[in-house]
Amino acid sequence: MSGGIPHAEALAAWRARMPAPARALALPVPELLDCFHPDHRPGAIVPLRVGASAGLPCRVELAALLQSDSLVEDVDIAGAPLLDADVLVIGGGGAGCVAALTAARAGARVILATKLRLGDSNTVMAEGGIQAAIGDEDSLQRHFEDTLRAGHFMADKALVAALASDGPGVIRWLIQEGMSFDLAEGSERMGGSLLRRKPGGATAARLLSYRDFTGLEMMRALREAVLLQPGITLLDRHPALELLTDDRGRCAGAALHDLAQGRTVLARAGATVLATGGAGRLHIAGFPTSNHYGATADGVVLAYRLGAALREVDSFQYHPTGIAWPPHMEGQLVSESARASGAALVNGLAERFVDELSTRDVVAAAILREIAEGRGILRGDRAGVFLDTPGLEREKPGILGRSLTTLAHLAQRAGFDAAAEPFLIHPTLHYQNGGVAIDPDGWSGVPGLLCAGEVTGGLHGRNRMMGNALLELVAFGRRAGHAAATDARVERPRNIGLNHLADWRRALIAQDLPLTLKAPMIFPPYGNFNMATERGKAA
Protein backbone atom coordinates (compact mmCIF):
# COMPACT_ATOMS: atom_id res chain seq x y z
CA MET A 1 0.00 0.00 0.00
CA SER A 2 1.31 3.44 -0.95
CA GLY A 3 1.77 6.22 1.59
CA GLY A 4 -1.15 8.47 2.37
CA ILE A 5 -3.06 10.42 4.97
CA PRO A 6 -4.58 8.63 7.98
CA HIS A 7 -8.37 8.46 7.94
CA ALA A 8 -8.91 10.52 11.11
CA GLU A 9 -6.61 13.28 9.81
CA ALA A 10 -8.29 13.29 6.38
CA LEU A 11 -11.73 13.40 8.03
CA ALA A 12 -10.72 16.42 10.10
CA ALA A 13 -9.38 18.20 7.01
CA TRP A 14 -12.59 17.47 5.10
CA ARG A 15 -14.74 18.84 7.93
CA ALA A 16 -12.61 21.99 8.18
CA ARG A 17 -12.67 22.77 4.44
CA MET A 18 -16.03 21.55 3.15
CA PRO A 19 -17.12 22.17 0.52
CA ALA A 20 -13.80 20.96 -0.82
CA PRO A 21 -11.91 23.27 -3.19
CA ALA A 22 -11.13 21.94 -6.66
CA ARG A 23 -7.58 21.20 -7.84
CA ALA A 24 -6.84 21.02 -11.55
CA LEU A 25 -6.10 17.57 -12.94
CA ALA A 26 -2.93 19.06 -14.50
CA LEU A 27 -2.17 15.89 -16.45
CA PRO A 28 -3.29 15.12 -20.02
CA VAL A 29 -5.87 12.33 -20.11
CA PRO A 30 -3.75 9.99 -22.29
CA GLU A 31 -0.85 10.32 -19.84
CA LEU A 32 -3.16 9.82 -16.85
CA LEU A 33 -4.49 6.57 -18.34
CA ASP A 34 -1.06 5.33 -19.43
CA CYS A 35 0.42 5.91 -15.99
CA PHE A 36 -2.40 4.94 -13.64
CA HIS A 37 -5.09 2.82 -15.33
CA PRO A 38 -4.69 -0.89 -14.39
CA ASP A 39 -4.88 -2.01 -18.04
CA HIS A 40 -1.51 -0.33 -18.63
CA ARG A 41 0.48 -1.98 -15.86
CA PRO A 42 3.67 -3.79 -16.96
CA GLY A 43 3.08 -7.46 -17.72
CA ALA A 44 -0.69 -7.06 -17.83
CA ILE A 45 -1.10 -7.88 -21.53
CA VAL A 46 0.02 -10.84 -23.66
CA PRO A 47 -0.76 -11.75 -27.28
CA LEU A 48 -3.08 -14.70 -27.89
CA ARG A 49 -1.17 -17.59 -29.48
CA VAL A 50 -4.01 -19.72 -30.87
CA GLY A 51 -7.49 -19.27 -32.27
CA ALA A 52 -9.28 -16.90 -34.63
CA SER A 53 -7.72 -13.84 -32.96
CA ALA A 54 -4.14 -15.11 -32.57
CA GLY A 55 -1.86 -12.12 -32.01
CA LEU A 56 -4.58 -10.01 -30.38
CA PRO A 57 -3.51 -8.31 -27.09
CA CYS A 58 -5.30 -9.85 -24.12
CA ARG A 59 -5.27 -9.55 -20.34
CA VAL A 60 -2.99 -12.29 -19.05
CA GLU A 61 -5.64 -13.68 -16.68
CA LEU A 62 -8.19 -14.05 -19.47
CA ALA A 63 -5.64 -15.36 -22.00
CA ALA A 64 -4.96 -18.37 -19.77
CA LEU A 65 -8.62 -19.40 -19.98
CA LEU A 66 -8.98 -18.63 -23.68
CA GLN A 67 -6.01 -20.90 -24.48
CA SER A 68 -7.18 -23.86 -22.40
CA ASP A 69 -8.62 -27.28 -23.18
CA SER A 70 -12.25 -28.32 -22.85
CA LEU A 71 -13.79 -29.76 -19.72
CA VAL A 72 -15.65 -32.28 -21.90
CA GLU A 73 -14.64 -35.38 -23.87
CA ASP A 74 -16.73 -37.45 -26.28
CA VAL A 75 -17.23 -40.06 -23.57
CA ASP A 76 -18.87 -37.44 -21.34
CA ILE A 77 -21.70 -36.80 -23.77
CA ALA A 78 -22.27 -40.40 -24.89
CA GLY A 79 -25.71 -41.41 -23.69
CA ALA A 80 -26.40 -38.01 -22.06
CA PRO A 81 -30.07 -36.92 -21.98
CA LEU A 82 -30.95 -34.86 -25.06
CA LEU A 83 -33.25 -31.84 -25.06
CA ASP A 84 -34.48 -30.22 -28.26
CA ALA A 85 -35.36 -26.60 -29.00
CA ASP A 86 -35.37 -24.11 -31.82
CA VAL A 87 -33.31 -21.61 -29.81
CA LEU A 88 -30.99 -22.20 -26.86
CA VAL A 89 -30.22 -19.15 -24.72
CA ILE A 90 -27.32 -19.53 -22.27
CA GLY A 91 -27.43 -17.00 -19.45
CA GLY A 92 -30.27 -15.93 -17.16
CA GLY A 93 -29.45 -12.23 -16.73
CA GLY A 94 -31.01 -9.33 -18.58
CA ALA A 95 -29.70 -10.06 -22.07
CA GLY A 96 -30.60 -13.75 -21.85
CA CYS A 97 -34.11 -13.04 -20.61
CA VAL A 98 -34.75 -10.48 -23.33
CA ALA A 99 -33.40 -12.81 -26.04
CA ALA A 100 -35.53 -15.71 -24.76
CA LEU A 101 -38.67 -13.56 -24.57
CA THR A 102 -38.15 -12.18 -28.06
CA ALA A 103 -37.47 -15.58 -29.61
CA ALA A 104 -40.45 -17.21 -27.89
CA ARG A 105 -42.79 -14.40 -28.93
CA ALA A 106 -41.58 -14.93 -32.50
CA GLY A 107 -42.82 -18.50 -32.28
CA ALA A 108 -39.60 -20.35 -31.40
CA ARG A 109 -39.37 -23.16 -28.85
CA VAL A 110 -36.76 -21.83 -26.40
CA ILE A 111 -34.53 -23.40 -23.75
CA LEU A 112 -33.15 -20.83 -21.30
CA ALA A 113 -30.22 -22.29 -19.34
CA THR A 114 -28.81 -20.41 -16.35
CA LYS A 115 -25.66 -21.04 -14.32
CA LEU A 116 -27.29 -20.05 -11.04
CA ARG A 117 -30.94 -19.07 -10.76
CA LEU A 118 -32.94 -16.94 -13.15
CA GLY A 119 -31.91 -13.33 -12.55
CA ASP A 120 -28.67 -14.04 -10.67
CA SER A 121 -26.50 -11.76 -12.79
CA ASN A 122 -24.71 -8.45 -13.07
CA THR A 123 -27.96 -6.90 -14.31
CA VAL A 124 -29.38 -6.70 -10.78
CA MET A 125 -26.24 -4.88 -9.64
CA ALA A 126 -26.55 -2.08 -12.22
CA GLU A 127 -27.68 0.79 -10.03
CA GLY A 128 -27.17 4.03 -11.91
CA GLY A 129 -29.64 3.86 -14.77
CA ILE A 130 -30.18 3.37 -18.49
CA GLN A 131 -29.40 5.83 -21.27
CA ALA A 132 -31.82 6.74 -24.04
CA ALA A 133 -32.09 9.94 -26.09
CA ILE A 134 -35.68 10.92 -25.30
CA GLY A 135 -35.25 14.58 -24.30
CA ASP A 136 -36.19 17.49 -26.57
CA GLU A 137 -32.65 18.86 -26.32
CA ASP A 138 -31.09 15.46 -27.01
CA SER A 139 -30.76 13.39 -30.17
CA LEU A 140 -29.78 9.94 -31.38
CA GLN A 141 -26.75 11.56 -33.00
CA ARG A 142 -25.56 13.04 -29.69
CA HIS A 143 -25.92 9.67 -27.96
CA PHE A 144 -23.98 8.06 -30.82
CA GLU A 145 -21.19 10.65 -30.60
CA ASP A 146 -20.99 10.56 -26.79
CA THR A 147 -20.63 6.77 -26.85
CA LEU A 148 -17.90 6.87 -29.48
CA ARG A 149 -16.01 9.58 -27.60
CA ALA A 150 -16.23 7.74 -24.26
CA GLY A 151 -14.80 4.60 -25.92
CA HIS A 152 -11.85 6.58 -27.33
CA PHE A 153 -13.28 6.18 -30.86
CA MET A 154 -12.45 2.47 -30.90
CA ALA A 155 -16.04 1.17 -31.03
CA ASP A 156 -17.79 -0.38 -34.02
CA LYS A 157 -19.91 2.47 -35.40
CA ALA A 158 -22.59 0.11 -36.70
CA LEU A 159 -23.11 -1.29 -33.20
CA VAL A 160 -23.16 2.16 -31.62
CA ALA A 161 -25.70 3.36 -34.19
CA ALA A 162 -27.91 0.35 -33.44
CA LEU A 163 -27.69 1.04 -29.70
CA ALA A 164 -28.54 4.73 -29.94
CA SER A 165 -31.34 4.26 -32.46
CA ASP A 166 -32.97 1.50 -30.40
CA GLY A 167 -32.90 3.55 -27.18
CA PRO A 168 -36.32 5.26 -27.18
CA GLY A 169 -38.05 2.06 -28.32
CA VAL A 170 -36.31 0.08 -25.58
CA ILE A 171 -37.70 2.42 -22.90
CA ARG A 172 -41.23 2.08 -24.30
CA TRP A 173 -40.83 -1.72 -24.39
CA LEU A 174 -39.60 -1.86 -20.79
CA ILE A 175 -42.52 0.23 -19.57
CA GLN A 176 -44.89 -2.10 -21.42
CA GLU A 177 -43.20 -5.04 -19.66
CA GLY A 178 -43.99 -3.43 -16.30
CA MET A 179 -40.73 -1.71 -15.38
CA SER A 180 -40.99 1.45 -13.26
CA PHE A 181 -38.97 4.64 -13.78
CA ASP A 182 -38.52 7.76 -11.64
CA LEU A 183 -40.68 10.70 -12.65
CA ALA A 184 -39.59 14.33 -12.70
CA GLU A 185 -40.62 16.21 -9.58
CA GLY A 186 -43.96 17.98 -10.01
CA SER A 187 -44.80 16.24 -13.29
CA GLU A 188 -47.28 13.75 -11.84
CA ARG A 189 -50.30 16.03 -12.31
CA MET A 190 -49.42 16.31 -16.03
CA GLY A 191 -49.30 12.53 -16.49
CA GLY A 192 -45.68 12.22 -15.42
CA SER A 193 -42.51 12.77 -17.41
CA LEU A 194 -39.45 10.60 -16.92
CA LEU A 195 -36.71 12.03 -14.72
CA ARG A 196 -33.49 12.47 -16.71
CA ARG A 197 -29.99 13.12 -15.40
CA LYS A 198 -26.66 13.67 -17.09
CA PRO A 199 -24.33 10.64 -16.89
CA GLY A 200 -20.56 10.90 -16.90
CA GLY A 201 -19.18 11.66 -20.35
CA ALA A 202 -22.53 12.73 -21.83
CA THR A 203 -23.50 16.04 -23.42
CA ALA A 204 -27.18 15.78 -22.50
CA ALA A 205 -29.37 14.53 -19.67
CA ARG A 206 -30.47 11.10 -20.89
CA LEU A 207 -29.99 8.81 -17.88
CA LEU A 208 -33.28 7.27 -16.76
CA SER A 209 -33.45 5.41 -13.47
CA TYR A 210 -35.54 3.83 -10.77
CA ARG A 211 -34.10 5.20 -7.54
CA ASP A 212 -30.58 3.71 -7.32
CA PHE A 213 -31.48 0.11 -8.12
CA THR A 214 -32.51 0.38 -11.76
CA GLY A 215 -31.04 -2.97 -12.78
CA LEU A 216 -32.87 -4.77 -9.98
CA GLU A 217 -36.16 -3.23 -11.09
CA MET A 218 -35.44 -4.18 -14.70
CA MET A 219 -34.60 -7.76 -13.75
CA ARG A 220 -37.80 -8.00 -11.68
CA ALA A 221 -39.89 -7.12 -14.72
CA LEU A 222 -37.95 -9.38 -17.09
CA ARG A 223 -37.97 -12.34 -14.71
CA GLU A 224 -41.73 -12.11 -14.27
CA ALA A 225 -42.19 -11.91 -18.05
CA VAL A 226 -40.03 -15.00 -18.65
CA LEU A 227 -41.84 -17.06 -16.05
CA LEU A 228 -45.21 -16.19 -17.62
CA GLN A 229 -44.14 -16.61 -21.26
CA PRO A 230 -45.31 -19.80 -23.02
CA GLY A 231 -42.68 -21.57 -25.11
CA ILE A 232 -39.71 -21.11 -22.74
CA THR A 233 -38.27 -24.12 -20.89
CA LEU A 234 -36.18 -22.85 -17.97
CA LEU A 235 -33.17 -24.87 -16.81
CA ASP A 236 -31.91 -23.26 -13.60
CA ARG A 237 -28.45 -24.24 -12.33
CA HIS A 238 -27.30 -25.66 -15.68
CA PRO A 239 -23.95 -23.99 -16.55
CA ALA A 240 -22.59 -24.57 -20.06
CA LEU A 241 -19.48 -26.76 -20.25
CA GLU A 242 -18.97 -26.76 -24.03
CA LEU A 243 -20.72 -25.73 -27.22
CA LEU A 244 -21.80 -28.42 -29.65
CA THR A 245 -21.21 -28.46 -33.40
CA ASP A 246 -22.71 -30.42 -36.26
CA ASP A 247 -20.96 -31.97 -39.27
CA ARG A 248 -21.09 -28.63 -41.14
CA GLY A 249 -19.33 -26.69 -38.39
CA ARG A 250 -22.50 -24.93 -37.19
CA CYS A 251 -23.08 -24.33 -33.52
CA ALA A 252 -25.77 -26.85 -32.62
CA GLY A 253 -26.40 -26.17 -28.91
CA ALA A 254 -24.40 -26.94 -25.79
CA ALA A 255 -23.37 -29.54 -23.25
CA LEU A 256 -24.78 -28.35 -19.93
CA HIS A 257 -24.10 -29.58 -16.41
CA ASP A 258 -27.12 -30.21 -14.23
CA LEU A 259 -25.82 -29.13 -10.82
CA ALA A 260 -28.75 -30.67 -8.97
CA GLN A 261 -28.38 -34.11 -10.58
CA GLY A 262 -24.61 -33.99 -11.13
CA ARG A 263 -24.88 -35.03 -14.78
CA THR A 264 -24.29 -33.74 -18.30
CA VAL A 265 -27.33 -32.75 -20.36
CA LEU A 266 -27.23 -31.96 -24.09
CA ALA A 267 -29.37 -29.11 -25.40
CA ARG A 268 -29.70 -29.24 -29.19
CA ALA A 269 -30.89 -26.11 -30.99
CA GLY A 270 -30.99 -24.56 -34.43
CA ALA A 271 -29.57 -21.32 -33.04
CA THR A 272 -27.70 -20.59 -29.80
CA VAL A 273 -27.51 -17.21 -28.03
CA LEU A 274 -24.65 -16.68 -25.57
CA ALA A 275 -25.59 -14.13 -22.90
CA THR A 276 -23.22 -15.22 -20.15
CA GLY A 277 -22.00 -11.82 -18.96
CA GLY A 278 -18.52 -10.74 -17.94
CA ALA A 279 -15.34 -11.70 -16.14
CA GLY A 280 -15.21 -9.83 -12.85
CA ARG A 281 -14.61 -12.96 -10.78
CA LEU A 282 -11.25 -13.39 -12.50
CA HIS A 283 -10.22 -10.43 -10.26
CA ILE A 284 -8.16 -8.86 -13.05
CA ALA A 285 -5.04 -7.08 -11.72
CA GLY A 286 -5.92 -8.33 -8.23
CA PHE A 287 -8.85 -5.92 -7.88
CA PRO A 288 -12.00 -6.60 -5.90
CA THR A 289 -15.10 -6.80 -8.06
CA SER A 290 -18.70 -5.65 -8.09
CA ASN A 291 -19.66 -8.67 -10.22
CA HIS A 292 -21.91 -11.55 -9.23
CA TYR A 293 -20.49 -14.94 -8.27
CA GLY A 294 -20.86 -16.55 -11.70
CA ALA A 295 -19.04 -13.87 -13.75
CA THR A 296 -16.10 -16.04 -14.89
CA ALA A 297 -15.83 -15.32 -18.65
CA ASP A 298 -17.41 -18.65 -19.65
CA GLY A 299 -19.10 -17.41 -22.82
CA VAL A 300 -16.01 -15.76 -24.27
CA VAL A 301 -14.02 -18.96 -23.67
CA LEU A 302 -16.62 -21.21 -25.33
CA ALA A 303 -17.20 -18.93 -28.31
CA TYR A 304 -13.47 -18.51 -28.95
CA ARG A 305 -12.87 -22.25 -28.88
CA LEU A 306 -15.61 -22.61 -31.52
CA GLY A 307 -13.89 -20.12 -33.83
CA ALA A 308 -15.42 -16.74 -32.96
CA ALA A 309 -13.21 -13.66 -33.28
CA LEU A 310 -12.65 -11.38 -30.28
CA ARG A 311 -11.87 -7.70 -29.80
CA GLU A 312 -10.69 -5.37 -26.99
CA VAL A 313 -10.02 -8.27 -24.61
CA ASP A 314 -7.19 -6.21 -23.13
CA SER A 315 -9.64 -3.57 -21.88
CA PHE A 316 -11.59 -3.69 -18.61
CA GLN A 317 -13.56 -1.09 -16.72
CA TYR A 318 -12.90 -0.27 -13.08
CA HIS A 319 -15.88 1.48 -11.52
CA PRO A 320 -14.55 4.52 -9.63
CA THR A 321 -16.64 4.13 -6.48
CA GLY A 322 -16.29 0.67 -5.00
CA ILE A 323 -16.36 0.47 -1.22
CA ALA A 324 -12.86 0.35 0.32
CA TRP A 325 -13.93 0.19 3.99
CA PRO A 326 -15.05 -1.88 5.86
CA PRO A 327 -13.04 -4.78 4.38
CA HIS A 328 -15.94 -7.26 4.37
CA MET A 329 -17.80 -4.97 1.94
CA GLU A 330 -14.81 -4.28 -0.29
CA GLY A 331 -15.69 -3.90 -3.97
CA GLN A 332 -19.42 -3.36 -3.55
CA LEU A 333 -20.64 -0.41 -5.57
CA VAL A 334 -21.69 3.00 -4.44
CA SER A 335 -23.91 3.92 -7.36
CA GLU A 336 -22.78 6.46 -9.93
CA SER A 337 -26.16 8.04 -9.27
CA ALA A 338 -24.46 9.73 -6.32
CA ARG A 339 -21.94 11.50 -8.57
CA ALA A 340 -24.59 12.16 -11.22
CA SER A 341 -26.59 13.87 -8.45
CA GLY A 342 -23.62 16.00 -7.38
CA ALA A 343 -21.52 14.06 -4.83
CA ALA A 344 -17.84 15.13 -4.93
CA LEU A 345 -14.67 13.02 -4.78
CA VAL A 346 -12.23 14.35 -2.16
CA ASN A 347 -8.64 13.32 -1.41
CA GLY A 348 -6.83 13.24 1.93
CA LEU A 349 -5.98 16.94 1.64
CA ALA A 350 -9.70 17.77 1.33
CA GLU A 351 -9.33 18.65 -2.37
CA ARG A 352 -11.54 17.77 -5.32
CA PHE A 353 -9.10 16.41 -7.91
CA VAL A 354 -11.17 15.38 -10.94
CA ASP A 355 -14.43 16.24 -12.70
CA GLU A 356 -16.68 13.58 -11.17
CA LEU A 357 -18.68 13.33 -14.41
CA SER A 358 -15.70 12.50 -16.59
CA THR A 359 -15.75 9.04 -18.12
CA ARG A 360 -15.23 6.15 -15.73
CA ASP A 361 -11.73 5.27 -16.91
CA VAL A 362 -10.56 8.85 -16.30
CA VAL A 363 -12.17 9.08 -12.84
CA ALA A 364 -10.83 5.68 -11.77
CA ALA A 365 -7.31 6.50 -12.98
CA ALA A 366 -7.43 9.88 -11.20
CA ILE A 367 -8.35 8.15 -7.91
CA LEU A 368 -5.52 5.65 -8.33
CA ARG A 369 -3.15 8.54 -9.03
CA GLU A 370 -4.12 10.27 -5.77
CA ILE A 371 -3.38 7.06 -3.87
CA ALA A 372 -0.11 6.38 -5.70
CA GLU A 373 1.16 9.93 -5.13
CA GLY A 374 0.39 9.92 -1.39
CA ARG A 375 -2.77 12.04 -1.35
CA GLY A 376 -5.05 9.07 -0.72
CA ILE A 377 -6.69 8.20 2.60
CA LEU A 378 -5.51 5.26 4.71
CA ARG A 379 -7.76 3.26 6.99
CA GLY A 380 -6.35 0.03 8.37
CA ASP A 381 -4.72 -1.71 5.41
CA ARG A 382 -7.05 -0.05 2.85
CA ALA A 383 -6.48 3.10 0.79
CA GLY A 384 -8.98 5.25 -1.06
CA VAL A 385 -10.56 8.68 -1.31
CA PHE A 386 -13.78 10.16 0.07
CA LEU A 387 -17.13 10.25 -1.71
CA ASP A 388 -18.72 13.30 -0.10
CA THR A 389 -22.29 12.13 0.49
CA PRO A 390 -22.81 14.53 3.44
CA GLY A 391 -22.08 17.44 1.09
CA LEU A 392 -24.66 16.09 -1.35
CA GLU A 393 -27.26 15.79 1.42
CA ARG A 394 -26.58 19.41 2.48
CA GLU A 395 -27.07 20.65 -1.08
CA LYS A 396 -30.14 18.49 -1.72
CA PRO A 397 -31.81 17.74 1.62
CA GLY A 398 -33.53 14.37 1.73
CA ILE A 399 -31.89 12.92 -1.38
CA LEU A 400 -30.26 10.01 0.47
CA GLY A 401 -33.57 8.83 1.84
CA ARG A 402 -35.62 9.67 -1.24
CA SER A 403 -33.54 8.72 -4.29
CA LEU A 404 -30.32 7.03 -3.12
CA THR A 405 -31.81 4.43 -0.83
CA THR A 406 -29.36 1.67 -1.74
CA LEU A 407 -26.47 4.01 -0.90
CA ALA A 408 -27.99 4.80 2.49
CA HIS A 409 -28.47 1.08 3.20
CA LEU A 410 -24.84 0.37 2.26
CA ALA A 411 -23.66 3.00 4.73
CA GLN A 412 -25.87 1.53 7.43
CA ARG A 413 -24.37 -1.93 6.80
CA ALA A 414 -20.91 -0.36 6.96
CA GLY A 415 -21.70 1.16 10.34
CA PHE A 416 -22.03 4.88 9.65
CA ASP A 417 -24.51 7.54 8.52
CA ALA A 418 -23.93 8.63 4.90
CA ALA A 419 -25.42 12.03 5.71
CA ALA A 420 -22.76 12.63 8.38
CA GLU A 421 -19.64 10.81 7.12
CA PRO A 422 -18.26 10.25 3.62
CA PHE A 423 -17.65 6.82 2.09
CA LEU A 424 -14.08 5.62 1.67
CA ILE A 425 -14.01 4.37 -1.91
CA HIS A 426 -11.54 2.73 -4.31
CA PRO A 427 -12.02 1.58 -7.93
CA THR A 428 -13.46 -1.91 -8.32
CA LEU A 429 -13.39 -4.26 -11.32
CA HIS A 430 -16.75 -3.74 -12.95
CA TYR A 431 -17.07 -4.48 -16.67
CA GLN A 432 -15.51 -6.38 -19.55
CA ASN A 433 -15.24 -3.77 -22.32
CA GLY A 434 -14.37 -6.30 -25.04
CA GLY A 435 -15.48 -9.79 -25.94
CA VAL A 436 -16.92 -11.68 -28.91
CA ALA A 437 -17.06 -9.60 -32.10
CA ILE A 438 -20.65 -9.37 -33.38
CA ASP A 439 -22.70 -7.64 -36.06
CA PRO A 440 -25.76 -5.49 -35.19
CA ASP A 441 -28.02 -8.56 -35.07
CA GLY A 442 -25.73 -10.38 -32.65
CA TRP A 443 -24.17 -12.85 -35.09
CA SER A 444 -20.70 -13.96 -34.02
CA GLY A 445 -19.39 -15.05 -37.41
CA VAL A 446 -19.79 -18.72 -36.42
CA PRO A 447 -22.92 -20.14 -38.09
CA GLY A 448 -25.64 -20.78 -35.54
CA LEU A 449 -24.01 -18.73 -32.76
CA LEU A 450 -25.21 -15.31 -31.60
CA CYS A 451 -24.13 -13.26 -28.58
CA ALA A 452 -25.69 -10.44 -26.57
CA GLY A 453 -24.72 -8.31 -23.58
CA GLU A 454 -21.41 -8.11 -21.76
CA VAL A 455 -19.99 -11.22 -23.45
CA THR A 456 -19.67 -9.18 -26.66
CA GLY A 457 -17.11 -6.65 -27.84
CA GLY A 458 -17.16 -3.70 -30.19
CA LEU A 459 -19.92 -1.56 -28.74
CA HIS A 460 -18.00 0.23 -25.98
CA GLY A 461 -14.55 0.53 -27.50
CA ARG A 462 -12.06 0.93 -24.66
CA ASN A 463 -14.44 2.39 -22.09
CA ARG A 464 -18.16 2.04 -21.43
CA MET A 465 -20.43 4.95 -20.60
CA MET A 466 -22.63 4.71 -17.55
CA GLY A 467 -26.13 3.61 -18.52
CA ASN A 468 -25.21 2.00 -21.83
CA ALA A 469 -24.96 -1.52 -20.36
CA LEU A 470 -28.65 -1.76 -19.44
CA LEU A 471 -29.58 -0.32 -22.82
CA GLU A 472 -27.23 -2.75 -24.56
CA LEU A 473 -28.65 -5.87 -22.96
CA VAL A 474 -32.20 -5.00 -24.03
CA ALA A 475 -31.36 -3.63 -27.49
CA PHE A 476 -29.07 -6.48 -28.48
CA GLY A 477 -31.02 -9.11 -26.56
CA ARG A 478 -34.03 -8.24 -28.71
CA ARG A 479 -31.97 -8.19 -31.89
CA ALA A 480 -30.27 -11.53 -31.15
CA GLY A 481 -33.53 -13.19 -30.05
CA HIS A 482 -35.30 -12.14 -33.23
CA ALA A 483 -32.40 -13.21 -35.48
CA ALA A 484 -32.08 -16.56 -33.67
CA ALA A 485 -35.78 -17.34 -34.03
CA THR A 486 -35.67 -16.49 -37.74
CA ASP A 487 -32.57 -18.59 -38.38
CA ALA A 488 -33.83 -21.58 -36.40
CA ARG A 489 -36.83 -21.90 -38.69
CA VAL A 490 -34.62 -22.81 -41.65
CA GLU A 491 -31.65 -24.54 -39.98
CA ARG A 492 -31.84 -27.80 -38.10
CA PRO A 493 -28.72 -29.32 -36.48
CA ARG A 494 -27.62 -32.79 -37.52
CA ASN A 495 -24.96 -35.22 -36.31
CA ILE A 496 -24.08 -33.11 -33.29
CA GLY A 497 -20.96 -33.60 -31.21
CA LEU A 498 -17.64 -32.05 -30.23
CA ASN A 499 -16.26 -31.93 -33.75
CA HIS A 500 -14.33 -28.69 -33.20
CA LEU A 501 -12.23 -29.93 -30.29
CA ALA A 502 -9.77 -32.07 -32.28
CA ASP A 503 -8.54 -29.07 -34.28
CA TRP A 504 -8.44 -26.94 -31.15
CA ARG A 505 -6.30 -29.42 -29.27
CA ARG A 506 -3.89 -29.74 -32.19
CA ALA A 507 -3.52 -25.95 -32.18
CA LEU A 508 -2.72 -25.94 -28.44
CA ILE A 509 -0.10 -28.66 -28.87
CA ALA A 510 1.47 -26.84 -31.82
CA GLN A 511 2.01 -23.79 -29.57
CA ASP A 512 3.33 -25.88 -26.64
CA LEU A 513 0.31 -24.92 -24.58
CA PRO A 514 -0.73 -27.47 -21.94
CA LEU A 515 -3.84 -29.61 -22.24
CA THR A 516 -3.99 -29.84 -18.47
CA LEU A 517 -5.55 -26.40 -18.04
CA LYS A 518 -9.32 -26.75 -18.43
CA ALA A 519 -12.00 -24.09 -18.92
CA PRO A 520 -14.52 -22.57 -18.53
CA MET A 521 -13.93 -21.85 -14.87
CA ILE A 522 -17.66 -22.05 -13.97
CA PHE A 523 -17.09 -20.66 -10.45
CA PRO A 524 -14.15 -18.75 -8.92
CA PRO A 525 -11.46 -20.86 -7.19
CA TYR A 526 -12.43 -19.71 -3.70
CA GLY A 527 -15.79 -21.43 -4.22
CA ASN A 528 -14.02 -24.79 -3.81
CA PHE A 529 -15.96 -26.19 -6.77
CA ASN A 530 -14.09 -28.55 -9.09
CA MET A 531 -16.01 -29.58 -12.20
CA ALA A 532 -13.93 -32.72 -12.74
CA THR A 533 -14.66 -33.87 -9.19
CA GLU A 534 -18.29 -32.84 -9.48
CA ARG A 535 -18.82 -34.87 -12.64
CA GLY A 536 -17.01 -37.81 -11.09
CA LYS A 537 -19.64 -38.04 -8.37
CA ALA A 538 -22.26 -38.89 -10.94
CA ALA A 539 -20.19 -41.57 -12.66
Q: Domain check: are 155 and 283 in the same one? A: yes
Q: Domain check: are 175 and 308 in the same one? A: yes
360 is catalytic: yes
Q: Domain check: are 334 and 228 in the same one? A: no
Whether 535 maps to a domain, the answer reads no
pLDDT tens, the chain, 539 aa long: 457 999 999 999 999 988 888 888 889 999 999 999 999 999 999 999 999 999 999 999 999 999 999 999 999 999 999 999 999 999 999 999 999 999 999 999 999 999 999 999 999 988 889 999 999 999 999 999 999 999 999 999 999 999 999 999 999 999 999 999 999 987 665 567 999 999 889 999 999 999 889 999 999 999 999 999 999 999 999 999 999 999 889 999 999 999 999 999 999 999 999 999 999 999 999 999 999 999 999 999 999 999 999 999 999 999 999 999 999 999 999 988 899 889 999 999 999 999 999 999 999 999 999 999 999 999 999 999 999 999 999 999 999 988 888 898 999 999 999 999 999 999 999 999 999 999 999 999 999 999 999 999 999 999 999 999 999 999 999 999 999 999 998 878 888 999 999 999 999 999 999 999 999 999 999 988 877 677 655 54
Distance CA 59, CA 378 (A): 29
Whether 302 maps to a domain, the answer reads yes
> Is this structure's pTM higher than 0.85?
yes
Whether 69 maps to a domain, the answer reads no
Whether 534 maps to a domain, the answer reads no
CATH code of the domain covering residue 335: 3.90.700.10
> How many domains does one find in the chain?
2
The CA–CA distances, whole Å, from 221 to 100, 115, 228, 468 equal 14, 20, 11, 19
Beta bridge partners of 225: none
- Of the residues 197, 206, 311, 360, only one is catalytic, namely 360
Question: Three-state SS for 10?
Answer: helix
Q: Which of 395, 429, 463 is the last residue of a domain?
A: 429
Q: Which of 409, 429, 449 is the last residue of a domain?
A: 429
Whether 146 maps to a domain, the answer reads yes
CATH code of the domain covering residue 223: 3.50.50.60
Q: Which amino acid is at 219?
A: M
Q: Domain check: are 132 and 248 in the same one? A: yes
Longest CA–CA span in the chain (Å) reads 74
Q: Domain check: are 79 and 123 in the same one? A: yes
Question: At 451, which helix (H) or strand (E)?
Answer: strand 449-451
Q: Domain check: are 285 and 417 in the same one? A: no
Distance CA 259, CA 116 (A): 9
Q: Domain check: are 107 and 243 in the same one? A: yes
Q: Domain check: are 207 and 253 in the same one? A: yes
Q: If you write DSSP's letter for every residue of 235-253 in order, what string do you get?
A: ETT--EEEEEE-TTS-EEE
Question: Which domain range does residue 178 map to?
Answer: 74-315+433-488
> Are the C-beta atoms of residues 348 and 385 closer than 8 Å to each other?
yes
Q: If you write DSSP's letter for every residue of 382-424 in order, what string do you get?
A: EEEEEEEHHHHHHHSTTHHHHT-HHHHHHHHHHTS-TTTSPEE
Question: Three-state SS for 455?
Answer: helix
Q: Domain check: are 450 and 420 in the same one? A: no
| Phi then psi dihedrals of residue 144, to 5 deg | -55, -50
Q: Is 302 exposed, middle or buried (0-12, 13-18, 19+ CB in 10 A)?
A: buried
Question: Three-state SS for 28?
Answer: coil
CA 490 to chain centre: 32
Q: Domain check: are 221 and 311 in the same one? A: yes
Q: Domain check: are 344 and 411 in the same one? A: yes
Whether 268 maps to a domain, the answer reads yes
Whether 226 maps to a domain, the answer reads yes
Whether 109 maps to a domain, the answer reads yes
Q: Domain check: are 372 and 478 in the same one? A: no
